[in-house]
Structure 1
């Protein structure tokens, strides 16, 4: 996930670059990526729904149309765009209250956006099934 930040976003219908990935909006239960915050097109934050992605490649993302990224009034989207809810770099706490480092990276299925695992700053791989929630303070995992 970390290496995908900055990928160019290209619209299939116009063959134009419409921006780049700035943030990933991850579901509160950290099971999947819901939307991409696309930077570079408008002054206000715009988001591409995962369902609007045609493909997610090694260096760019193809969206179905130039109109696919749209503004959002969803609080979680806005907080993600501001960098307040960010999976990468989040503190990892287990359910017993112990800190287990920070999220260095996350792996995901490029076709579905499903989160597979988190990788901690200690190189520990934490399966997605062990993750409970993500908020502005931390990501909570099973202890």
Structure 2
């Protein structure tokens, strides 16, 4: 498992010649089926932004991300920032703030969301928007 906080700042490299494309600034999450869909990175001295689809990654490790050479355009999901988001129940009750998230670097699936009030399994997650991460209120609402 990898943590979002540990990926931020990692270099994004090409295979073989190991050209540095940029540095990870964040990860984009798709709330259906709760997986990382793309890497947002800063490039060059002016720190221009770029987005790389997670499907373009060849490897994700503790020291760098390696992307395959650019191909045709791929659709990238809209970005909503998970880290720092407020956590609300489906009833609108405040449940803290997202501190970090753990994901599987091979499948890109979110394994857990770490909040100021504890850890949330992916089964409790309902949606992520501009204003908050929305969760189920408890185990009674959890669907297997």
What TM-score, normalized to structure 2? 0.82
Offset at residue 29 of structure 1 (A)? 3.7
Q: How much has 1:28 moved relative to structure 2?
A: 3.4
Residue matched to 1:90: 85
2:132 to 118, 125, 138: 138
Larger Rg: 2
Compared CA separation, residues 71 and 31, structure 1 to 2 (3 A) = closer
Matches within 5 A, 1:45-84: 45-65=49-69, 67=70, 76=78, 80=79
Cα distance, 1:13 vs. partner? Answer: 4.2
**What is the RMSD of the two structures over their aligned residues, measured on CA atoms?**
2.4
Instruction: Give structure 1 stretches of 5+ with no counterpart.
Output: none
CA contact (8 A) 2:53 2:74 kept: no
Where do 5+ consecutive residues of structure 2 fail to align? 138-144
TM-score under structure 1 normalisation?
Answer: 0.82
Go from structure 1 to structure 2 and tell me whether the alpha carbon gap of 1:43 and 1:58 turns closer, same or farther (over 3 Å shift).
Answer: closer
Say whether residues 1:127 and 2:130 are aligned partners. Answer: no
Mapped partners of 1:125, 1:138: distance in 2: 16
Inter-partner Cα distance in structure 1 for 2:112 and 2:33: 10
Q: Residue 7 of structure 1 aligns with which residue?
A: 10
Instruction: Choose 28-37 or 49-58, whichever is displaced more.
Output: 28-37
1:71 CA displacement? 9.2
Q: The residue matched to 2:97 in structure 1 has which SS?
A: strand
CA distance in 1, matches of 2:74, 2:33: 22
